[in-house]
Structure 1
């Protein structure tokens, strides 16, 4: 096995120096829950995480909700077998309602119980970054954020952040404790955070790690109409409108433009999709989900790929048509 050195940047003002590409552990939670990605073998997941670490990726982002604990247990198993200790980020607030569907809770006692359970599953003494997964229910975000601040004070977690919050919600909780990080969705498929949220995060010196930079597989270059139509029922994407017409054709056209730019650099279209998110000065890192070791090598090039103004213009060509 080989270990590489990738360029790092500071995540906001946390002091954590992270690689620009991180390992996303959503899909390795398997398919037996509401937002699963279909069947997954834990042994292959552990091998995939190990390969990512061998290639120099130094952080893993997971959540208690991913497979309702399964992803965290797999990450914990990978950590026990690894010679290197990456940063470990996880999230709270989504619980199993008993039927494989999620329910939301930001009550203090629930958040504290979740943190204890995550620490046990991950097998770590402290979580490097603990995040509220969704601002739901909105009326409880202050209570949930105060609980995260309490966990940080107790050193059960080192840093605290949120995912999927809007600017107004960020301002509300900042009155309780500084928001260190934000995790929004961001890709050529979903640019909504461009207008207000990313500029606010940059101005406020909030570290940003974006999720789904490849549009949940739409921008990898491997997605086709036939493949989208054959997604199994336990893959959440089979129920997502982006994977059906008329949206599907538009996103596949974007993937073709990515391929044109990718050919200039001899990289995969997915690497260009990730590099596009990293070209935004507000973005520190991108969470890239992998299920097999061979998926990592083509995408990790994004960590050092710097797109030119011409590249960005070519990718955007036809956007308004």
Structure 2
């Protein structure tokens, strides 16, 4: 069987390649139908990663946030036409201590190996999760991003102390929106405070208790714990404020990705006895836990649908490139590509 793979070969240049699919493998064949563009995809597409990294990883099919339909399953686990979410993390050897998304021998689709921008994806059955009927396709497209926030919150529950009267979230983008939403549903009695840089973005955080601009923080503000969802050079200013405002023995969750080294006030970290941990990507248990979580909270789905900024029909390479260019121009929300047959 011949498959079409759409690979980024250079910044802003996508080419099609044709490859054989071996149907004798005990793996599932999925046709991606909804694919969500992530900031990591954009860094490759725009060529904003270091030239050495681009040289190592390209050519490569982009996209690691996707859902699709099963068209062939030799394991008989799924029905033909069943909707599934694709898990991009490909674990190596079994490790009972280190989670799959942190193992150095794990692969990750659209980061060193081909992502889901393909006509068909042949994938192990363990890398697929059923998408319940109540979750719409557009939200299913970015379950991977949702699972990243879910994963960080599960780690937070392990690392943090019991006092959670006020939890802060720095960042008014997609990651901050999703993390604040899941936090409010996980800790309904806590005051969830979001700090950002844009009034018009903060106005969308209708489900939290407080929002503030970074330039208008109350002098007496104190937070028990904080999630940093800023990333890039903005993480520098965010961490300065976070370390100043967090209470002693609080927990700081680092989630924003930066291409630049970020300084932190270690003297105050030591003085306050702070716990700082990083979270990246997610694993199967996070996908399963996240899907169960949002199916139990109907209004979560409603809030998530609001951050779908555009659904763009895809018929050709030109359409794919138009979707990426449109995603660059938007100020907030997720761009979902609607892959047409």
Q: What's the TM-score once normalised by structure 2's chain length?
A: 0.28
TM-score scaled by length of structure 1: 0.29
**Per residue, is there more helix in 1 or in 2?**
1
